[in-house]
Amino acid sequence: MGDEWKGPLRQVGECRWEIPASYKKAMRTSGLIYASPEMVKDILSDQAPEQVANVACLPGVVGLSLAMPDIHWGYGFPIGGVAAFDAEEGIISPGGVGYDINCGMRLLRSDLTLDDVAPRLNDLMDDLAQTVPAGVGSEGPIKLSRSDLADVLVRGAAWAAEHGYGWPEDVGRLEERGALAGADATKVSGEAKKRGLRQLGTLGSGNHFVEIQVIEDVYDLVLARAFGLAKGQIVVMVHSGSRGLGHQVCTDYLAVMDLAVQRYGTNLPDRQLACAPVRSDEGRDYFAAMAGAANYAWANRTCLAHWVREAFARQFGRPARALGLDVVYDVAHNIAKFEKHEVAGEPGLRRKALLCVHRKGATRAFPAGHPDVVEAYRAAGQPVLVPGNMGTHSYVLVGTEQALAETWGSTCHGAGRRLSRSAAKRQVRGSELRRQLEAQGIQVRSHSDAGLAEEAPLAYKDVDQVVNAAERAGLSRRVVRMRPLGVLKG
């Protein structure tokens, strides 16, 4: 993951650590990392803070270069990085979104309890393993035509729902209603489209999963009820993204941006931050392609949720609707979006400005009353879905006014890696990890023991610490906590 970082870092508030703008001559603003004191050692163990400082050097940056408590080293931007750029004068960077465009989370609730599921868990996990296409390069039963794929890239989750892979009401519970405006299928390369034709409705590999969980703790009864959640209830988390299509979009546009850096004479501290002015042809084209990949991801998670519903319906002998398998919410973790935010204007005054907000391994966390929160939750605030890692808890949080004021309405997205995949495999064998998890009562289905070892809980930060740090900083509040019962990995 890299050598220990030796740069300046000073505490400037509760769970707030500053990298001063004086650290590098090219820094246009300071960096700010949110973390508890006990988390700082892990954060300094790689070069992620250097990446925070590098992002602060980019043209048109507004506010601070930010990092959430689950920060770790990534491509260009750190994972856990958040930065906003002026929509007229700033830049857009594929490194600020990542290769797995709109890797994100979906949560399904149910009317089932632990007593209902426990006797059927083994059969249910077997059914999911047979139903959900998973693994490296996995292909699914959905065969898209070229025109179908073009529709998916523009319409996202709505396409899937209309073709029988979801319910019409699902769309109203998704970030951006499952389709980011501005997508243009013609800006997605032929190679990316080729990779996307057979992967809709597939889980993939790496840290992607389907996990059956039980709600163990409720921290806010009113908000839990607003989200349709209660103690003892069975829920299902789905974690996946835009698959090979999104990866190819990133690859394609990194090459485009390398040329754009030369064309516009942009000075970069790291080539991985290749970017283009937001309003340039290259910037517009990347956004249009990135939005298409994001919409593919929302359609993908819609189809994955459909396979989950089918498996539950078979095992319980009742329609999914009768089991109450409704979407709670769906959030993006890797995305760039145009949003209006208050920024500093004339001395003592603030103004509304259109910004291009990059969130890479971070979750949007808008508060109650925000017009961009879907109508179903506008009075409560936006749900934030934070997964653990197989043997650890997951959370539903809610966005806050403080996050809106400080982080462009952003908070953490998960536990965050502390060991590389190769280091994790050196410390635990997949077969042994499987036995450990099953000894804890967690049913595991995985296509690869090596892949299982790469995602071992020991490879990640403590998700409880991550969530607590975000809450202490005021970026989000806990609503419920879930314990894993069964996990399907790619």
Which residues are known to be catalytic? 413
- Residues 6 or more apart from 488 whose CB is under 8 A from it? 125, 128, 129, 132, 134, 203, 209, 210, 211, 445, 446
User: Whose CA is closest to 415, among 71, 41, 95?
Assistant: 71
Q: How far is CA 146 from CA 153, 183, 201, in A?
A: 11, 16, 16
Residue linked to tokens 């071992």:
456
User: Whose CA is closest to 270, among 472, 35, 52?
Assistant: 52
Q: What is the DSSP letter of 162?
A: I
Task: Quickly list DSSP for 313-369.
Answer: HHHHTS-TTTTT--EEEEEESEEEEEEEEEEE-STT-EEEEEEEEEEES-EE---TT
Sign of CA dihedral 137, 141, 146, 152: negative
3-state secondary structure of 244: helix
Cβ neighbourhood burial of 217 (10 Å; 0-12, 13-18, 19+): middle
Tokens of 377: 């939750």
Residue linked to tokens 């329609």:
319
CA distance 19 to 37: 15
